[in-house]
Amino acid sequence: ALRQFELAMVPFRRREHNWGHLMEERLQRSSELLRSVVQRTSSRPKPAAPTDESLPWLAEACDPSEAGWRLAEIGCGMKIRAARLLRHKPGRRAVIEYCLGGENAGDAVRLVGKTEYKSRQRKRMATQRLLWDAGFDSAAPDGISVTRPLGEVPEWNMWLQEHAEGENGWDALRGPYAINAARLAARALAKLHRSRITAPKQHNYMDEQAILNDRLTTASHMAPDLSPRIDRLRDHCSRLLNSVKEPPDALLHRDFYPDQMLFHRDRVTLLDLDLICRGPASIDVGNFLGHLAEMGIRRSSDPNYFAEVERAFLETYLKERPSVELRSIAISKLATLARHAYISQMHVGRRAFTSEILFHCELLLAN
């Protein structure tokens, strides 16, 4: 099309007697070629992406050609070869992986884009940058890091970070080096808790109580046959959570459990720090232990399935931060396991475990 456009002026320069007619023909040909290119491009099937009214840009963000020029605006000079939707919570958020490649195969890299229905990407990226600059970079000598933040796409409420290599936390804690992984996880959490970066919010045990009350009230309505047990558990947990007076002096992850880590040799990368805040350290520690107990119940009907992992994690953490009280950790662990009674009701495949979760919560209360 461009060549036909350039040739359109040649008859005029040569003073050909019918230069006007020849120019019109070549311009018409150039226009036809352009239209055919546009039609072929527009008829190309879009990558499959779910429709989400709260994330109307999701299909665009999953399209390599659309994402390519957006990422070019933040200085990414490589072509996007593929885009893959990793996670999608309808109406809330999504995580997309981009595979980029330069001219050489060895230049291929992966980025991760996180998008939300609310415009929070600038705050998320700023917090990640603070952590990266505060000793959580990929060259940290203690082997504990976060992913490097790269930039944002405001039109998609998205911020981008480097992809981190490693083994999922659950796999690492079930593998041959589970105890080493547990100790590294404990050191990573202690390092995060010691960080002095500015946190956007505070979170305490009153907040934990309010959340648990809401979740267990919902679970009680969803499982009327278990309602008396759920209500008793809710009331007992409420009293215990109200009794904790731990100072909010730690930088909390607030969703710390094995899925939030990637292990690679003697290094660990912390993931999904979107809820970061100041609060009592025992909330994170107990949350981790409560998830271990719940996974043990689902895997083998044994909340002590990860007992050795729990012991190694707790011993290592308390060496790093001995001021955190065991009683507060135990209450947080109980509250986390109790919250899984609600989570189990929200997932059809987990509803068979609700009664067993309640039983083990009742045992913890008795002890």
| Tokens of residue 71, six digits | 């990422």
Q: What is the pLDDT of residues 290-344, one digit of tens each?
A: 999 999 999 999 999 999 999 999 999 999 999 999 999 999 999 999 999 999 9
Please name every residue paired with 97 in a beta bridge, in sequence order, or none if there are none. 84, 112
Q: What is the pLDDT of residues 108-147, one digit of tens each?
A: 789 999 999 999 999 999 999 999 999 999 999 999 999 9
- How far apart (Å, rounded) are the C-alpha atoms in residues 144 and 189? 9
Return the higher-pLDDT residue of 88 and 74: 88
pLDDT band at 39 (very low <50, low <70, confident <90, very high): low
Backbone dihedral angles phi then psi of residue 36, each to the nearest 5 degrees: -65, -35
- How far apart (Å, rounded) are the C-alpha atoms in residues 9 and 322? 83
Closest CA to 269 of 253, 283, 249: 253
- How far apart (Å, rounded) are the C-alpha atoms in residues 264 and 55? 33
Taken in order 294, 295, 298, 302, the sign of the CA dihedral is negative
The residue to which tokens 């707790």 are assigned: 314
User: CA torsion 327→331→333→337, rounded to 10°?
Assistant: 160
- How far apart (Å, rounded) are the C-alpha atoms in residues 194 and 188? 10
Backbone dihedral angles phi then psi of residue 84, each to the nearest 5 degrees: -135, 125
Closest CA to 323 of 198, 195, 209, 194: 194
CB 291 within 8 A of CB 354: no
> Could you give the 3-state DSSP secondary structure of residue 120?
coil
pTM over cut 0.85: no
The residue to which tokens 């992966």 are assigned: 110
| Tokens of residue 172, six digits | 């690492």
The string over 306-321, giving b where at least 16 C-beta atoms fall within 10 Å of a residue's C-beta and e elsewhere, is beebbebbbebbbeeb
pLDDT band at 233 (very low <50, low <70, confident <90, very high): very high
- How far apart (Å, rounded) are the C-alpha atoms in residues 146 and 135? 9
The string over 56-92, giving b where at least 16 C-beta atoms fall within 10 Å of a residue's C-beta and e elsewhere, is ebbbbbbbbebbbebbeeeebebebeebebeebeeee
The pLDDT, as a whole number, for residue 156 is 96
Tell me how crowded residue 135 is: count the other CB atoms within 10 A of its CB: 16
Q: How far is CA 148 from the centre of its chain?
A: 14
The pLDDT, as a whole number, for residue 352 is 96
The pLDDT, as a whole number, for residue 101 is 78
Decide: residue 335, CB within 10 A, 0-12 exposed, 13-18 middle, 19+ buried.
buried
The residue ranges of DSSP E strands in 47-163, in sequence order, are: 79-89, 93-101, 109-116, 144-146, 149-153, 158-162
